[in-house]
Amino acid sequence: MSELFSSDFFESLSSLKLAMHLRLEKGRSGSRKSSARGASVEFSDFREYLPGDDVRKIDWNVYGRLDRLYLKQFMEEQEATYHLFVDSSRSMDFGQEKKSVMALRIAGALSWLILGQMDRVFLHAICAEQVYSLHPGRGRSSFHNILTELEQISFSGNTDLERSVRRCQIAGRGVSIVLSDFLDVRGVDGLIRYLTFQKQEILLIQILSREELDFDEEGTLRLIDSETRDDITIAMTGQSIRLYEESMAKHQQTLMRLSRKYGCVYERVVSDEPIGRVLLERLANVGFLLRK
Amino acid sequence: MGIETWIPLVLIAFVFVILILYLLRQKVDEFEVSSTLLWRELYRNIEATKPWEKLRKNLLMILQIAAFFFLMAALMHPYWSKAGDPQERLILVIDCSASMNTKYDSSATRLDAAKEKACALVDRVGLSGTVTVISSSNQGTLLLANSRDSREIKETIRSILPTSLPGSAADSLNLVQSAATQREESQIVFFTDTDLDPGMENASIVSLYRDCVNVSMDAMSCSASEEGISILVRMTNHSDQTLEREINLYGEEKLLDIQQTILPAGETVVLYFEEIPAEGNFFRAEFQEEDDLAGDNQTFCVRETSDVRRILLVTDSNLFLEKAFLLLPGVEVYRTRDLTEDWSEESGFDLYVLDGVDRSDTDSGRLPMGNLLLINSRVGGITEERERRSNPILTFSEGELTGYIANEQFGVNEASSYALPLWGKPFLTGEDFIAGYFGEYDGRRIAVMGFDLHKTDFGLQASFPVLISHLADYLLMRGLASETAICAGDLLSLNGSTSGGDLNIVRPDGNMDTLAPSALTVSYPDTETPGVYQVSQTIGEEERTQYIAVNFPSESESHVAYARDLDSEASTSEAVMEHTVDLRPYALLLLLLVLTAEWYVYVKQT
């Protein structure tokens, strides 16, 4: 095991399972119940007949009772597809406890859980210049390969989430989990809308470092952007730090509002938090993970 | 609270220098952040490019500015007047007598030190109080009253000049009491070197006394003989150590002799210069060495002239009158019982005293030239008797002849009531008549008294010799000056003839004053400067000149006895200063604390 994924890391996963609220379209068969109504034997529901429907599905018993035409629907078991988008821009490689490490650990943990449910997982390392899609995995046997490829992700380049995600191959319904610091809120709106258009259940996990949340530097500083190398000189007075914290809070509120608007799940984690707490508390609190 | 000097306030300009240095101090650290997007949002509200933003939260700069302000405050010498005891009125009495010319330290005299202390006191009073300045030597002089202008007050104090006059701050007590009674809140401060007991509340003394090394020339006299001039010089060593001195003797400005002597501590020594050539009208003796009081290092004396006045006393017998005239210096008294018919044997006298002589049938034009004193006598054309009064009480009226005896009375058996001539002025009166008068008539001075000295006890009274002295001064005209040696500050009595020109007085500094002669003595007051004064008057074609020696008042000023303990609170307390609290030590203490804090912050930052 690598430093990113220790035995303790996997022990913390043993008590978790994914909680899915997903209606899947037709696809490979898996162990996840799908809300898509297919040709399986398990009855699902009735709906009123509309011109053009298959007459073979008309339930005549209901017609006899109610003197109205209704179709019988059946559940179809189908494999779920998960897309994990890991922001691999340079800004993620920041902090004493790096955000990139937390992102990779969360991606690894979720991959472990997804593969354990016999679902398919697609991992994408995205930044403005390129998208690196890892080999899809299915089943626990592919987990080792996934970990190896996660460790090889380099964090460099600028951030452009929407354009990066658009370059990814997304087919059918699924769950999209975006791991980023979302510091550029402008791209988040387009990202969410695109994924929603692609019929994705969306989970946004914002990862920030402790230094970004509690900025306590003093003096007059020339702040240099780690991605663009732009600089700005600011005197770190009590007022300026207070305004920064207000800006950060406002940024988070914007993300939350976007999430609510588009029906997404949003959670913020700090890079110096223990991974166990992130999984058992943070993601469990938002209902994405369940305890067994 | 007050401020002693506002001048250090100009240093506040250096505070801006400190600010500019910190503004120019370009120290901006680079710090990499993940993204500057959030910082750019608030950048509009934070104009960090404005220079003063760099100055915020700069503790080191604040401490340095605070240290600078405390330093400036200390230089301004702040003070605080104690509450409940405001110095609303301050009266400063500065002793400027001769002893204040004694050295206080290597560079200043006692008077200089007194003026500086007084000026410092004025600064402490501040603008809330008024200040009155009185100088004191042989009398008090009000120089400035109730002023609030500190500049004017200090200029007045600094304008006080040293004098060679005797006296002390005690001579101004009447004036001070008069000034102090106007308001109860007056605080009086005496700057003096004498042991003074003001006897007033709210009075304190700033003592300028210090032990000094001083030898004084006390007195000098000369006498003529066939061998020449003999001069006696008396000197005193006022210090506590034996000193050796070299004495130079000058005849006017010519050095005549030099002698050396040793003066034991506290002793008086008399030195003789004998067989000195009779050169010069006056002499001067001075020490070759200097000491702490230069004013008493020389003394003057005037060579006595043989200008003797001759008096002819015409009387049967009048012991009191004869003795009274014999006591007069510079006169020779001759007595006769009666005058000859033609006055042939009685000519050549300066004064004729007729006691009980009846020459009413004689015309005054037949009398020999000379002044006349008529006591119970009659002379035609001079006396006009109206009647005789019995048992009157005679009174000396105010006038030039009755100094010190005015309003004195005595009884006589009988007195003449005179008709006052046009040239006469009364000086002795009865209840409603004139019993005595004087004046100038026919080129001579005349005094008339209309009673018999034998029939009165006036001769036994103290006023009798005083009257005789006044009469002699007036009638004899013994000299242009009554005395040839006085102390500085004494009035110089001048006896000029009214038939002559103005009296010219040349002071030692060469300046000349002119006085109009009077029938009586003229007082000349400007004798502050020790030296030889020359008095001259032209009478007809003759110019009369007389020298007067004015000496330093060494008896009272060369050694100021100080009985009190100098360390005692009563003698050395500067009571007004006790009413103020000097805040400068506190400002310096705060400065030290701030500098310590600044050092700590600097070490911590580096």
> pLDDT tens digits for B128-168?
678 899 999 888 899 998 888 888 999 999 999 999 998 87
Pick the more confident residue, A208 or A141.
A208
Is residue B54 less than 8 Å (CB to CB) from chain A?
A: yes
Interface confidence (ipTM) of the complex: 0.73
Q: Which of B31, B45, B605 to mutate to test the interface with A (most CBs of A within 10 A)?
A: B31
Q: What is the mean pLDDT of chain A?
A: 80
Confidence label for A29 from pLDDT (cuts 50, 70 and 90): very low
Neighbours of B29 (CB within 10 A): 12
pLDDT tens per residue, range A98-148: 999 999 999 988 888 888 777 888 999 988 767 888 877 677 778 888 888
Q: Do A235 and B41 touch (CB under 8 A)?
A: no
The CA distance from A59 to A68, in Å, is 10
In 3D space, the residue among A79, A74, A76 whose CA is nearest the CA of residue A32 turns out to be A79
Q: Do A225 and B36 touch (CB under 8 A)?
A: yes
Please list the alpha-helical segments (H only) found in chain A.
Answer: 7-11, 60-66, 99-116, 143-151, 161-166, 185-197, 210-213, 238-262, 275-277, 284-285
**Alpha carbon distance B121, B117 (integer Å):** 6
Other beta carbons within 10 angstroms of residue B599's beta carbon come to 11
Report how far residue A129's alpha carbon sits from residue B430's, in angstroms, rounded to the nearest whole number: 142
* SS3 call for B13: helix
* Position B115, amino acid: K
In contact, A125 and A115? CB cutoff 8 Å? no
In this prediction, residue A41 has a pLDDT band, given cuts at 50, 70 and 90, of low
Of residues B27, B225, B185, the one with CA closest to residue B91 = B185
Q: Fill in the DSSP letter of residue A282.
A: I
Q: Is A191 helix (H, G, I), strand (E, B) or coil?
A: helix
Q: Which of B29, B34, B46 sits opposite A226 (nearest CB)?
A: B34
- The burial of B341, by beta-carbon neighbours within 10 Å (0-12 exposed, 13-18 middle, 19 or more buried), is given as exposed
pLDDT tens digits along B179-194: 877 656 778 899 998 8
pLDDT score recorded for residue A180: 93
Is B46–A209 a contact, with Cβ atoms under 8 angstroms apart? no
Q: In what order do the strands lie in the sheet with B542-551?
A: B485-487, B542-551, B531-539, B503-506, B512-515
> Measured between CB atoms, does B514 come within 8 Å of chain A?
no
- Optimal mutation site among B23, B24, B25, B35, interface A, most CBs of chain A within 10 A: B35
What does the pLDDT read at residue A76?
Answer: 47
When comparing pLDDT for B101 and B224, which is higher?
Answer: B101
What is the structure's pLDDT at B447?
95
Three-state DSSP state, B459? helix
Asked if B28 lies within 8 A of A239 by C-beta distance, the reply is no
Give strand ranges (E) for B456-511.
485-487, 492-494, 503-506
Distance CA B476, CA B446 (A): 11
In DSSP terms, B558 is beta-bridged to none
B149: Cα separation from own chain's centroid: 27
Centre a 10 Å sphere on the Cβ of residue B383 and count the other Cβ atoms it contains: 22
Q: Is the pLDDT of residue B460 over 60?
A: yes
Give the pLDDT mean for B302-324. Answer: 82
Tens digit of pLDDT for each residue in A149-201?
Answer: 888 888 988 888 888 888 887 878 889 999 999 988 778 888 999 998 888 88
Q: Residue B430 pLDDT more than 90?
A: yes
CB pairs under 8 A between A and B: 101
- Predicted confidence at residue B559, as pLDDT, reads 81
Query: Which tokens is A45 given?
Result: 């529901």
- Chain B neighbors of A157, CB-CB under 8 A: none
H or E element, residue B472: helix B463-476
Residue numbers of B between 23 and 42 with CB closer than 8 Å to A = 27-42
* Owner of token pair 């592919």: A142
Q: Give the distance from CA A179 to its chain's centroid.
A: 6
For an interface test with B, the pick among A234, A240, A253, A270 (most B C-beta atoms closer than 10 Å) comes out as: A234
DSSP-based three-state secondary structure for B406: coil
Q: Which residues pair with B314 in a beta bridge?
A: B336, B354
Phi and psi dihedrals of A205, rounded to 5? -115, 110
Minimum CA–CA partner of A158 in chain B: B35
Q: How far apart are CA A250 and CA A230, in angstroms?
A: 23
CA distance A71 to A42: 14
Confidence (pLDDT) at B443: 78
Higher-scoring residue by pLDDT: B520, B226:
B226
User: CB A235 to CB B32 under 8 A?
Assistant: no
Give the whole-angstrom CA distance, residue B593 versus residue A260: 60
Q: Is the pLDDT of residue B204 over 90?
A: no
Chain B residues within an 8 Å CB radius of A217: 31
B277: closest CA among B242, B228, B230? B228
pLDDT score of B86 more than 50: no
Q: How far does A109 lie from chain B, in Å, by closest CA?
A: 25
Give Dmax (Cα) for chain A: 83
Distance from CA of A95 to the nearest CA of B (A): 8
A153 contacts A86 by C-beta, under 8 angstroms = yes
Q: What is the pLDDT of residue B194?
A: 85
Highest mean predicted confidence (pLDDT) among A52-56, B130-134, B414-418, B443-447 = B414-418
Strands A120-126 and A131-133: what pairing? Answer: antiparallel
If you average pLDDT over every residue of chain B, what do you get? 83
Amino acid in position B438: F
Triad A283, A284, A289: Cα angle to 5°:
85
pLDDT, tens only, A218-259: 888 889 998 888 888 888 878 888 889 988 999 999 999 989
Rounded Cα distance between B97 and B492, Å, is 19
- B30 and A217 within 8 Å at the Cβ level: the answer is no
Task: State the CB neighbour count (10 A cutoff) for residue A129.
Answer: 12
- Chain A CB contacts of B49 below 8 Å: 233
- Residues from A contacting B (CB-CB < 8 Å) are 91-92, 94-95, 99, 159, 181, 183-184, 209, 212, 217-228, 230-235, 237-240, 243-244, 246-248, 251
